[in-house]
A and B are shown apart, each in its own frame.
Chain A
Amino acid sequence: MILTTIKRIIKSGWKSFWRNNGLAVATIFIIVMIISLINGLFIFQAATDFLVSNLQEKADVSIYFNENISEAEILEVKKEINAVEGVNSIEYISREMASEKFVEKYKESQILMEALEIVEDDPFLASLNVKMAEASDYAVLNGFLEEKFSEKIYKINYFENKEVIESIFSISSDVKRFTFVFSLFLAVLGILVAFNTIRLTIYTLKEEIEIQRLVGASNWFIRGPFVVQGIIAGIFATMISLLIFIVSFYFLNPQLKNLFLGFDFFGYFVNNFLFILLIGLVCGISIGVISSLIAMRKYLKI
């Protein structure tokens, strides 16, 4: 009996979905928009994170050591810095490497190259290039170095970079906060639009629901086909939305890469396909089913 009822509910939902194709198209269209919005925000969030970490990568301090400090001593300091909380990376740059980098960077500038030849001694100092996780970590690192290794250190460019570092981290955190609030706002707006559209769709079926009640159908016998239709609409909408993303990212990837400092949208989409598919299905089916159930509640009261 239960199996027969479930079979009938599924069959009825499937038939109604195709028969009310005008309504089905409207529902799918709105769910496609919501899923695209949610998936789009998810990918946009990833792109923003990429941009922010790129920006943070540019923040660092250089610790220049006195000429008489040997490489072994510097590597010893490096080891101790590594133990400081918040250190993301440390790069040792020897005097030779610093010189090579300088030449590589300014090889087009004749004046600088000539000046370098005039200077008899190697003017470059060995250094450690340190990147920290947070802006506030740089001050901690600076204090640690001044306290422990001030006699070995010639200069730390912390105070020169302080403002830039703090700006970078402040912008990063603002961007993250804005993206989160904006995403949340759009997601809520989208769900409200979807709910209202489905509510209007169900309003047109008000009479049908009332007749079913009067003929003796139980509430679940009436709700069931709507739930099935919600699931079908959610699945179709997810497929359509994913197709739109695949095609768009495939063709627009080069332009988007330029815009987002090299973030590979197509690659990210392909690598996270299963997760994005899951988000789509969960959102699509939930919107379709929950909106239908809420919208039809009042017509089941007669």
Chain B
Amino acid sequence: MIKFQNVTKIYPYPKVAALRNVSFNVEKGEFVSIIGKSGAGKTTLFKLILGEEIPTEGTLFFKEINIPEINKSNLYKLRQQIGIVFQDYRLIPSKTAYENIAYALEVIGADDEEIKRDVSKVLEITNLTERAESFPDGLSCGEKQRVAIARALIHRPDFIIADEPTGNLDPLNTQEVIQTLVKINELGTTIILVTHNKEIINILGRRVITLEEGKIIRDEERGRFIL
């Protein structure tokens, strides 16, 4: 589903090689964690998958799509197929929790009835029904992250990428978020989790790719958190 082939990313100002000759595949239905110290290249990898950055060398595919070749104005078509969860939630401040979740369906052109039905259902599953009309400023960190996850799932993408989704959460909320991602993965959704959290990696017992100074130093099927 995701294929990195000898991908190198060098930022020009200042000249920094964020990724060096990185190659790996993620197959459909896999749950892959990407770990690494700060500056290891995790965020760059995340941005490359979303088309925010273009590799300096190498190719990178999502399904059959060569991401760097997508015209900027058509990137939305790629992003509509991906569920994205950010560490800092990235909720639209001027929209309510309900509207933030509905937005992911609106952009793909879902009809009003479908939006109403699905958003209400997701709000119920994520225990946010009472908070549906609250704006992000009025939500707790845990609630914000649940809204962000609900937004990433609502359009049923077959691939989700989560960048430190538990970074700002307490242990209880962290566990909830990870359990949600595992459940979704069990239903067939491919997941890439970028994280620093040692406990999560060790409990998950899934494939772990370790980055160091822009290179893959380890890629294990049932990996552990070793840095």
Contact = CB atoms under 8 A, between A and B. Distances in A.
Interface of A: 1, 4-5, 8, 16, 19-20, 207-208, 211-219, 221, 301-302
A8 B90 contact: no
Given A20-B94, A214-B79, A214-B84, 19 more contacts: A4-B111, A4-B112, A5-B109, A8-B106, A16-B94, A208-B93, A211-B91, A213-B75, A213-B79, A214-B50, A214-B52, A214-B90, A216-B77, A216-B79, A217-B76, A217-B103, A218-B73, A221-B106, A221-B107
A219 B90 CA distance: 18
Contacts of B139: none
The 8 closest A-B pairs by CB, nearest first: A216-B80, A216-B79, A217-B107, A218-B76, A211-B90, A216-B107, A216-B76, A1-B109
Interface string B16-55: 0000000000000000000000000000000000101000
B50 A215 contact: no
Contact of A208 (B92, B107, B109): B92
Contact of B94 (A5, A19, A221): A19
B224 interface: no
> Which of B75, B90, B106, B112 counts the most A-chain CB atoms under 10 A from its CB?
B106
Contacts of B9: none
A215 B107 contact: yes
13 contacts: A8-B106, A207-B93, A211-B91, A212-B107, A216-B76, A216-B79, A216-B80, A216-B82, A216-B104, A217-B76, A218-B73, A218-B107, A221-B107
Contacts of B77: 216
A16 B94 CA distance: 7
A302 B52 contact: yes
Interface in B86-144: 90-94, 103-104, 106-109, 111-112
B113 to A, nearest CB: 11
Contacts of A208: 92-94
Nearest to A11: B106
A211 B112 contact: no
Interface of A is mostly: helix
A215 B77 CA distance: 10
B151 A215 contact: yes
B72 interface: yes
Nearest to B74: A218
B79 A215 contact: yes
Contacts of B91: 211
A280 B207 CA distance: 63
A213 B106 contact: no
Contacts of A8: 106
A219 B79 CA distance: 13
Nearest to A8: B106
A217 B84 CA distance: 13
B197 to A, nearest CB: 23
Nearest to A1: B109
B93 to A, nearest CB: 6
A290 B11 CA distance: 33
Contacts of B82: 216
B7 to A, nearest CB: 19
A208 B135 CA distance: 13
Nearest to B50: A214
B47 to A, nearest CB: 9
A25 B164 CA distance: 38
B108 A216 contact: yes
Contacts of A216: 76-77, 79-80, 82, 104, 107-108
A258 B52 CA distance: 65
Given A16-B94, A19-B94, A215 B73 contact: no
A219 B77 CA distance: 11
A208 B90 CA distance: 8
Contacts of A4: 109, 111-112
Contacts of A213: 75-76, 79
Contacts of A207: 93
A217 B72 CA distance: 12
Nearest to B110: A4
